[in-house]
Amino acid sequence: MNHAANDYPRNQQKIAHLMTQLNQIVLDKPQAIKLALSGILAGGHLLLQDLPGMGKTTLAQGLAQLLGLSFSRVQFTNDMLPADILGMSIYDQSKLQFEFRPGPIFTQLLLADEINRSSPKTQSALLEAMEERQVTQDGQTYALPQPFFVIATQNPLQQAGVYPLPESQLDRFLLCLSLGYPSPAAERELLKGQDRRELLKELPAVLDTQAVLLAQHGVKQVYVADVVLDYLQRLVAKTRASSEYHGLSPRGVLSLQRAAQAYAYVSGHMEVTPEDVQAVFAAVTDHRLGQRFVPAHVTGGQATQTIAQRILAEVAVIV
């Protein structure tokens, strides 16, 4: 507790600067950026779902560059095979033996772009890597770099040529976020300003690998009082009381606590509040409860209340 409390002031300025820099690249999305950074510092993977061209890839690239992490981008297609991501063993004639050639997954931050355009078999190739931070090929296990994150982008199921993600894979993503359309003012700045890809090239790293690992350790030390745990468990119990969907699993519960701790850490305090739990609840739970992303234009521009939002409205903070 004391170590984390002393550690945060040393990182606070850098974290605040990182979010400021990223807000200049991905305009008008401060809450999504804060949640995305919270997910990374919690050690989790992110799923970004939205229409093409909304800034999902830009957000992922910006995070990798500002965090000072090695980065690989894989464009998922319907003819992609698991070996295209994980790597494969190739026979070396000079050595008279097979040699493993690592795939693009051997990086610190992997952008799985349009992940749901590949087949379920290829999607499932990421499961071991996301859960165990390792890859097994031909009976051999290979450790992935530390830290290791997957940021996947997903197009709406209403579009052609996409496959739904299996529930087992959805559960591996700590947070699921949607960016949505920019405000008119932000869109005008995009039209009149510099190309986002050019701005990305100019971004200096704010953190490095050691700083990210240190921040992740600090997140684990954020205090969660019993009264907050009581509130968290009431929310979880509410997810399990419906016959319309399966409630949160124990892994989902741990994810909710971890995300709330990270959100508190990024917000500048070393104790989780009910507001921290509320801030991350929808991003942690909706995709696990089967909530499908529906673009705003499909609903006539009207925002629809999600399962998580309904639960938050029905569960009291203090009983």
Helix (H) or strand (E) segment spanning residue 103: none
The residue whose two tokens read 């990086």 is: 107
Predicted local distance difference test score (pLDDT) of residue 111:
94
How far is 75 from 72, CA to CA, in rounded Å?
Answer: 10
Residue-wise over 48-68: b if at least 16 C-beta within 10 A, else e? bbbbeebbbbbbbbbbbbbbb
Measured between alpha carbons, how far is 304 from 282 in angstroms, rounded to an integer?
Answer: 13
Cite the DSSP H helix spans in the chain: 2-25, 30-41, 56-67, 83-86, 120-124, 127-132, 167-170, 184-192, 196-202, 209-220, 226-239, 250-267, 274-285, 307-314
Residue 147 to residues 200, 203, 213, Cα–Cα distance (Å)? 22, 21, 7
The pLDDT score that the predictor gives to residue 42 is 95
Domain 2-314: top CATH class: alpha beta
pLDDT of residue 53: 83
* pLDDT tens track, the chain, 319 positions: 455 455 556 677 889 889 999 998 998 899 999 999 999 999 999 999 888 888 888 999 999 999 999 999 999 988 888 889 999 888 788 877 888 899 999 999 999 998 888 888 888 888 889 999 999 888 889 999 999 999 999 887 767 667 778 788 888 999 999 888 888 998 898 888 878 878 888 888 999 999 999 999 999 999 999 999 999 999 999 999 987 888 898 999 999 999 999 999 999 889 999 999 999 999 999 999 887 766 554 544 555 678 899 999 999 998 6
pLDDT of residue 124: 80
Contact 24, 33 (CB under 8 A): no
Q: How far apart are CA 317 and CA 254, in angstroms?
A: 19
